[in-house]
């Protein structure tokens, strides 16, 4: 099924890091925001890394200089399975990169990293750091593992 990214990136001119997923899950598309599947651990990981409860996700990201978007503007995907992604049209990262002083780009999962490397790195020539996916499909990583790995974000937002 062809899916289009239907909600805007989260960022402002003070954003210092850009976190890129692949494309929003079915649940995220329904809710119109990032990482909204109830079993996705993304927001729990950020709560632990930044040591605060997240009451307003967008406000939290902006206050901590985090930009959020995805590598795909559209693609064919079956349900929310990254493994099924094909026919990729990448997002135009200049929307963010021309307005914010992004110090580091992070991809959240292997598929986002592969898409970034194939379609976006050749344009922007900026290395990404691939973090493990927080998706429930990545069951081999515990919440504690993810929290330790995502601590690296703190180096770039201070």
Give the Cα separation of 17 and 3 in Å (integer).
26
Strand bridging mode 72-76 / 86-90: antiparallel
- pLDDT for 136 equals 84
Q: Which residue has the tokens 């997923």?
A: 21
- pLDDT for 88 equals 97
Distance of CA 132 to the CA centre of its chain: 11
The low-confidence residues of the chain, meaning pLDDT below 70, are none
- pLDDT for 120 equals 98
> Domain residues of the chain, as ranges?
2-157
Query: CA 101 → CA 34, 55, 139, 146, distances in Å?
Result: 22, 26, 34, 26
Give the Cα separation of 23 and 12 in Å (integer).
21
Model confidence pTM above 0.85: yes
Pick the CATH number of 2-157 from 3.40.470.10, 2.60.40.10, 3.40.50.300, 3.30.360.10: 3.40.470.10
Please write the tens of the pLDDT for every residue from 55-93.
999 999 999 999 999 999 999 998 888 888 999 999 999
Which residue numbers are catalytic?
40
């Amino acid at each position: 099924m062809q899916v289009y990214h239907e909600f805007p990136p989260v960022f402002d001119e003070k954003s210092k890091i850009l976190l890129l997923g692949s494309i929003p899950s079915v649940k995220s598309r329904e809710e119109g925001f990032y990482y909204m599947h109830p079993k996705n651990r993304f927001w729990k990981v950020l709560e632990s890394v930044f040591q605060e409860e997240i009451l307003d996700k967008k406000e939290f990201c902006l206050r901590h200089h985090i930009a959020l978007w995805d590598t795909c503007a559209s693609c064919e995907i079956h349900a929310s399975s990254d493994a099924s992604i094909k026919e990729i049209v990448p997002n135009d990262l200049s929307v963010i990169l021309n307005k914010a002083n992004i110090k580091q780009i992070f991809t959240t999962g292997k598929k986002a990293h592969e898409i970034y490397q194939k379609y976006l790195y050749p344009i922007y020539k900026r290395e990404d750091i691939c973090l493990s996916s927080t998706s429930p499909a990545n069951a081999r990583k515990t919440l504690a593992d993810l929290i330790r790995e995502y601590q690296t974000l703190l180096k770039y937002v201070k």
